[in-house]
Chain A
Amino acid sequence: MEVSFNDVKYTYPGGVEALKGITFNVPTGQSLAIVGQNGAGKTTLVRHLNGIFQPTSGTVTVGDWTTAGHTIAELSARVGYVFQNPDEQLFARKVFDDVAFGPRNLKFDEEAVASAVTEALEETGLTKEAQSHPHHLSLSERKRVALAAVLAMKTPVVVLDEPTTGQDHNGVRMIASIVKKLREANRTVIAITHDMDFCAENFERVIVMAQGEVLADSSPENVFNLPEVLAKARVEAPQLERLASSLGWKSHPMNVDAFVDNLEAKSR
């Protein structure tokens, strides 16, 4: 499902201008990463997608809906949103019930609920914890429960707010493979992240934000080759891009294989 922002401005009730006219369009099945320092307006922006925020001016559309005409509950059938802090999201006494909450609200029949929950728990590596109390799990596990809870809703658009923070290496790998699966299923994925290596390796498009504005919007290769933009947004390029540019390369390897391919080309 396609989503778009059309000259979206948002001013907080206190008068702080968080978004200063944002326009972009994400086609069906695209994976988009939004980067920028804390306070750049990233979370405010994506919270417009499911109606938690309504624009002060401009419009946000999700498929053929304008968010202004729909409640958060209605939009939840189209946009799944994983909160950054799982403790703001989880509430049930059992992991299974928490993950089942969304599908049940969306009126899946019990059989469909069970299969959606089982699948989501498997994808997030939590099958063993189905009967555990969410509060007895570690932060990284709770974050994955929150992710599973949204995956189980099978929404055409999935929004992830800093999915990799608090995850160890295995957790990050698991999330990378979930992003890949969502893309293969032609679902639209929008993620906020501070992990530029994760971003470079798993997303086809990157938006750089600073002070409520979009500074750059392109492929990771292009975006991470804009030193002035990155400096202004206080964003660091991914590790291998930094290395390639320190070595004076003109190419922009976004992952280990691409980097080593370059080495091979150069040693020939």
Chain B
Amino acid sequence: MIKLSDVSYAYPDTDHYTLTNVDLDVPQGEVVGIVGASGAGKTTLAKIISGFIPHVDGGALSGRIEVDGINLPESTLAIAVSHVGLVIQSPFNQISGAKFTVREELAFGLENQGVEREEMATRVGEVAKLLGIETLLDRSPYALSGGQQQLVAIASMIIMRTPVLVMDEPTSQLDPGGTRMVFDVMSKLRDSGITLVVFEHKVELLREHASTVHVIADHQIVASGPARKVLSDPRLEKWAIGTTRYTRAAALAEEKSLLPKSTELPVSLEDSIDVFKGFKNLKKG
């Protein structure tokens, strides 16, 4: 669905490369996580996958970028955005500013595409239910809290029904409950056949929802593979992403020979219950 080969990129007016020799292969209908320290180049990669680089930002881009069968750099932005949706980092800026209610804000993209009124209303209702924002529909997008605005921003892209959806830190302003809900929504979208690329650093949730994870560090992809394998890699500490407490506890337990050496440390609660099952309530602690 997404295929990047040997992609390098430098922003205009600089010879410093933000990304070098990136290869990325995302199959259709999966949730793929991309993690990296701040400043590692995540937002840049998100913009490349969604066509905003080079169509908006310019700069020096090389390599092949194919998304949903489209050669993005050689296509136009208008075509790109009908194949890939991008949820940008700042919900405040994702909101158009032109609409006076959340309801109309959600429909903004569909109005631009000339979708029939009845269908718009149905799709607004569906996406509002999906993200639990039905009660906000008649409020002004600017009278919302940061977290509520973020849900509206995500909904405003989901409603576009692009085959590929790229999300750049979509849960930065949400509380744990809201974050979990957004991840559940991602899984639901995947089940309906949509391909999702999510730039996040909530390792535990990525383990639960993503099939594959890639790590960006030093302007490159330094590790790729199944979520549990990549997210339990001790090098995550060095790459400033950090592992979960489960992983650290299991690593320390192995070091102290309390657990047998394993090939894959646990990342999530479920992984750990299995790993530590021998310690189930042995005696009063």
Contacts and interface: CB of A to CB of B under 8 A. Distances in A.
Interface of A: 37-39, 85, 138-141, 165-172, 194, 196-197, 234-236, 238-240, 242-243, 246-251, 255-257, 259-260, 262-267
A239 B256 CA distance: 21
Nearest to A239: B245
A256 B273 CA distance: 15
Contacts of A141: 38
Contacts of B169: 166
B38 A140 contact: yes
Interface in B83-102: 89
A250 B249 CA distance: 18
22 contacts: A38-B147, A38-B175, A85-B146, A138-B38, A139-B89, A167-B38, A168-B37, A169-B236, A169-B237, A170-B240, A197-B245, A239-B204, A240-B245, A243-B272, A243-B276, A246-B273, A256-B252, A260-B253, A263-B256, A263-B258, A266-B279, A266-B283
Interface in B221-252: 236-237, 240-242, 244-246, 248-249, 252
Nearest to A251: B285
A170 B246 contact: no
Given A239-B244, A239-B269, A266-B285, A256 B37 contact: no
A248 B278 CA distance: 12
Given A38-B145, A266-B282, A243 B246 contact: yes
B69 interface: no
B258 A196 contact: no
A138 B169 CA distance: 14
B240 A169 contact: yes
A170 B241 CA distance: 8
B95 to A, nearest CB: 16
A250 B284 contact: yes
Nearest to A259: B249
A153 B236 CA distance: 35
Contacts of B246: 239-240, 243
B174 A38 contact: yes
A247 B281 contact: yes
A224 to B, nearest CB: 13
B279 A247 contact: yes
A220 to B, nearest CB: 13
A166, A239, A248 — which one has the most chain B CB atoms within 10 A of its CB? A239
B93 to A, nearest CB: 12
Given A165-B173, A247-B281, A248-B280, A260 B273 contact: no
A234 B176 contact: yes
A249 B176 contact: no
Contacts of B281: 247-250
Nearest to B242: A169
Contacts of A171: 38
Chain A facing B: main interface SS: helix
Interface of B: 37-39, 89, 145-148, 169, 172-178, 201, 204, 236-237, 240-242, 244-246, 248-249, 252-253, 256, 258, 269, 272-273, 276-277, 279-285
Nearest to A143: B38
Contacts of A139: 38, 89
Contacts of A236: 176
B276 A247 contact: yes
Given A38-B178, A169-B241, A239-B246, A262 B285 contact: yes
Contacts of A266: 279, 282-283, 285
Nearest to A242: B269
Given A38-B145, A166-B172, A247-B273, A260 B285 contact: no
For the complex of A and B, 10 pairs with smallest distance between CB atoms: A169-B242, A248-B281, A251-B285, A140-B38, A234-B177, A239-B245, A38-B147, A168-B37, A170-B240, A37-B175
Given A239-B246, A251-B285, 4 more contacts: A167-B38, A236-B176, A246-B273, A256-B248
B241 A168 contact: yes
B262 to A, nearest CB: 15
B64 to A, nearest CB: 29
Contacts of A259: 245, 249
Contact of A238 (B146, B173, B174, B245): B245
B251 to A, nearest CB: 9
A194 B175 contact: yes
Contacts of B236: 169
Contacts of A166: 38, 169, 172
Contacts of A242: 269
A256 B251 CA distance: 10
Nearest to A246: B273
Nearest to A84: B146
Contacts of B146: 38, 85
A65 to B, nearest CB: 31
B130 to A, nearest CB: 19
